[in-house]
Structure formats: C-alpha cells, structure tokens
Structure 1
Amino acid sequence: MIEALEEYWIGHEPFYNEVDREVAMFEAAYALRLPLMLKGPTGCGKTRLVEHMAWKLDRPLVTVACNEDMTAADLVGRYLLDANGTTWHDGPLTMAVRHGAICYLDEVVETRQDTTVVIHPLTDARRQLPLDKKGELIQAHPDFQLVVSYNPGYQSHTKDLKQSTRQRFLALDFNYPPADLERRIVAHEAGIDSALAARLVTIGEQSRALVERGLEEGMSTRMLIHAGRLIRHGVDAVAACNLALVVPLSDEPDLQRALKNLVDAHF
C-alpha cells in the first residue's frame, strides 16, 4: 500500500449498477491511461462510478471538489511555513501524479480557466506535471489516471470547458437510469422494498417532466435514495418526500405546489 495515499484507498465495494457498458468503457480508458470526462445531471451516479472503478482497479482515489475560488496552487501544491521553515506541500493532483492514483476533479467547469490549463500536460502524450514554483517536472506514475466530471445543464459562456481542454478527454454521457434499474438502485441503497422504491422513482420521473415547465432540474436518484432512507427510518412518507424532494428542489411556490401534488398522488 502507498503510505502517502493510505487514506485514499476504498476499502469495500461501492454498489454500482451498470446502465450502458460504462464499466467496460472506463476499464478500457484506464488500461490505456487515457483521461476520461463524465457528463451528466446531478446525482445520476457519476461519482459512484468513479468510486466503484477505483475499488475495482485497486487504485487509490483522490477526489477534488472544484470551485470558482480554486487556484492552480490548490491543485498542485505550495510552499508553507512549518516547524522546519518553508516546506513544499504537494496538492491533491500532485499526490495522485506522483503515486499513481486516480485523480477525480468533480464539477471541473467550476474552476477558473487559468486553473484548468494546469492539467493539459497530463492529458496528452507527455503525461507530465510542471511545478513551476518548485522548479520540478513530474513524470506521471504509470498507474495515474485523470477523470473529470461536470453537469452540462449548468453550462454557460462563463463556465464551460474550452475546446483545447475538451478534446483531450474521452467522454461518457450519463443520465438517470431507466425506471426498472433506478427502482433497484433506490431499493438497494435506501434499504426499502421494491414497491416503495417504485413509487419514489415514479415521482422522480414525473418531476423531470417539469423541467420543461420552469423547473431547473428534476429529482435526482440521490434525492430519491434520501427520501427512501427517511421513510425506512420511520419518517412519514409525505413528510420525508417534502424534506428530501420538494423543498430542496425549488424555492418557487408554484413549482413546490406542483411537486407536492406529485407526492400526494402517490402517498
């Protein structure tokens, strides 16, 4: 085990139900150490796939939740003062590159474009990471792979990947699973019976139809699992759905009313 990344190993198999050969596609990308982009709505299973594949491939997983304030130094590292004076501290990307982890940049479009370019030398034949402030050029470990994700629904002119970044990646499109598969996932992850999971999935599907009527995004599989867990815990079904599905999704009274009507129709 790599001591520097001991905490990043996944000790048990994360549950993942394959939808459309994405496990095999991920394995092929990893076998060739090609960078991979996952595109899809919130809570549809992108992160769970990465966790499952890190376990399956027996590699540590370094996850970075990207945000607009993240700088290149946050990714690669910086000099910091400590008891020994000024010492270089690797950032999460650098740790993964040095030691052969999978580095997962979640919601990569949230980062500033001048930060995103840091990954460019890692995503072509060079597989290198220059540490300009340290004067070091790191050749990526043979087992290193870069994976990024984002939600296309949140794209804008100010938050989008440049073509110079996009074209460096393989890409998998994600969406919510078909109803029968989503029902099995919700039942398994929430620990509820199939009939209850089916009702939650139907509510979720109907909420997604409201996207064309002003709702920014429908209920995610993750939200349905949260509702199922609350119900299993003893919370009344309508109250659980209000807590996990209705109120988080929208602040608009008319949309909340429509979502509550969906819940009332099934509970």
Structure 2
Amino acid sequence: MKQAVEARSGASAQGAVDGARSTSPAPPYYLPCADEVQLFEQCHANQLAVMLKGPTGCGKTRFVEHMAWRLQRPLITISCHDDLSASDLIGRFLIQHDRTQWNDGPLTTALRSGAICYLDEVVEARQDTIVVLHSLTDHRRSLAIEKTGELIHAAPGFQLVVSYNPGYQRMLKDLKPSTRQRFVALDFNFPPAQQEIEIVMQESQLDRPTCAALVGLAEKLRSFADRGLAEVPSTRLLVATAMLIARGIPVKRACQVALVAPLSDDATLVGAMHDLVDLSFP
C-alpha cells in the first residue's frame, strides 16, 4: 500500500517550505551510473551528511527518493530559496485561539522522526539559515531550539542530504568552505547515452528508436553550452518530451514545446536548436 502525505509547514506563513514524507513498497525508478548507491548506503550507516552536486534535471532528487525507499526511511524534502529562514526549517510559535503553540518545522520533524531530510538547491537559502545545519553534520547530531530551550538529538536513521548545481551557482552563489567540508560529496551528471535511453524509455513508455533519437539530439544540444546556452537539456526534459510523443503529439512539435522552448528565448539559439531537431527527425 502506497502512503504519501504532503504537509505545508506551519512555520511558513507564505507556504515557502514543503515537507513531504513518503513510504512505498515499489521503488522509485533509478538507474545507477556508478557506485553512488553503495556510497550513500555507507554514509547513512555511518551517520554522514551527503551533498549531491550536478546539473539541473540529472536525477539527484530521484536518487534521494530511491535511497529513502531502499533504506526504508521517511523522506522530508525542502525546496530552498532566498527567503528561507531558520524558523522555516526549525519551527515557530503560532497563536492558537487563546494561547500560543510551538509548531515544528520540517527539519525538526525529520530530526525527531529519524527521517532523511533533503534540502534541494541548498545554496539558494540564506547563509544564516545554512549555518543552522552545522550542528547536525558533525558528531553532535543535535539541534538547539533557542525559543523553547530544547536540545534535540537526532533519532536513529536521521540523515541530512543537500543538493545544488555547481555550474549555475558558480556564477551567483556558493557554499562556504566551512559548510562544504561537513558533507560527503557525490558528483552527478547526465547518464551515458545507453543508460539515458533506458531511463527515457522507462519513464515515458516510448519506443526505443525514438528515445535513442531524442538522446542523440540532446547530446548535440548540450554542446550549445559553448554558444551561450545557460542550461543544457536535462534528462527530465527528455522524459517530458518523450511523454508527449508517446501520447500522440507530433515529434517535432513535442521537441519544440518541451525541449527547445524551455531552454532559451534567444532567437538565434532557438533557430539553431530547431535546425538540429529537423536533422534528427527528418
């Protein structure tokens, strides 16, 4: 029986933090590219925090979902942004009728329940928020809540996992060395062509020849990074394109709306990408 609960954090007045817990008898599909599964398992067993580094849409989030299933741990996911405060993570007092009541944030909930806490795109959060994580990534494995005077020690099974896109963030923000060195870093990238074909086929149920042509097109489009394309097509975009094709959308139209248009508004780049689509699907 699949159970999924999605809760809006009571600590986020604007709904900024989403906490998601899930347990499922069926594993989220993930095709390993190297030894990342074994490394993550050892990090979990040895209570080590993990940092996933890689481009947008290369499978970092799906990997965490797969590992949570594999380790049989609840998963709480937090999408980070520049308004994310420490209170959004930890919790805050809220007025309940004639009294105030403490509401745990998603990080505190994960700590108490022994869940895997996944902070997606962690560098988007403010530095004063990221510092809150430090005591959870070393031998202390604890969190001091100043507002309640409580010191919470991590329940068995708790693990902190963060992700970010180094290529994008290098131009804007980055983690401080004092934060980076608290994590075991696993590097992710787009899968090799044959594996990417298998992933697109599995996720979209599209035929192999068309999936192979889509992956070949993506490999050509990824070379446009040298021509000013800020983000190259991800495996996620390929899956979205393949899903449209599998459900009857003409191939070139699906490529236009799901693969080319999301990447750029530059007329020259878009025209060049459309030319590659025409060559790939004559």
Instruction: Give the letter for the 1:43 counterpart.
Output: G
Q: For each residue in 1:150-173, what CA deviation from the matched residue of structure 2 results, as whole angstroms up to 9, or x when unmatched?
A: 000122475210000000000000
Moved over 3 A (4+): none
Q: Does residue 257 of the first structure (1) align with residue 266 of the second (2)?
A: no
Give runs of aligned pairs for residues 155-170 of structure 1, distance below 5 A.
155-156=169-170, 159-170=173-184
Deviation (angstroms), 1:83 = 3.2
Q: Does residue 180 of the first structure (1) align with residue 194 of the second (2)?
A: yes
Q: Percent identity?
A: 55
What is the aligned partner in structure 2 of residue 234 from structure 1?
248
What is the aligned partner in structure 1 of residue 203 from structure 2?
189
SS at match of 1:249: coil
- The match for 1:110 among 124, 149, 152 is 124
Measure, in 2, the Cα distance between the counterparts of 1:165 and 1:62.
21
Give runs of aligned pairs for residues 1-267 of structure 1, distance below 5 A.
8-11=21-24, 12-83=26-97, 85-156=99-170, 159-267=173-281
Deviation (angstroms), 1:98 = 0.6
Measure, in 2, the Cα distance between the counterparts of 1:237 and 1:39.
32
Greater helix fraction, Structure 1 or Structure 2: 1
Alignment TM-score, normalising by the size of structure 1: 0.96
Unaligned runs of 5+ in 2: 7-19
Deviation (angstroms), 1:9 = 2.3
Instruction: Give the letter for the 1:254 counterpart.
Output: T
Q: For each residue in 1:146-204, what CA deviation from the matched residue of structure 2 results, as whole angstroms up to 9, or x when unmatched?
A: 00000001224752100000000000000000001100100111111111110110111
Measure, in 2, the Cα distance between the counterparts of 1:194 and 1:228.
11
Measure, in 2, the Cα distance between the counterparts of 1:53 and 1:156.
28
What is the aligned partner in structure 1 of residue 11 from structure 2?
none
Q: May I ask how many residue pairs the two structures share in their alignment?
A: 264
Quickly say closer, same or farther: Cα 1:226–1:155, change in 2 above 3 A: same
Would you say the 8 A contact 1:10–1:51 is kept in 2? no
Instruction: Give the letter for the 1:232 counterpart.
Output: A
Quickly say closer, same or farther: Cα 1:231–1:84, change in 2 above 3 A: farther
Moved more, 72-81 or 151-160: 151-160
Aligned-pair Cα RMSD in Å: 1.5
Deviation (angstroms), 1:10 = 2.6
Deviation (angstroms), 1:84 = 5.6
Would you say the 8 A contact 1:104–1:146 is kept in 2? yes
SS at match of 1:248: coil
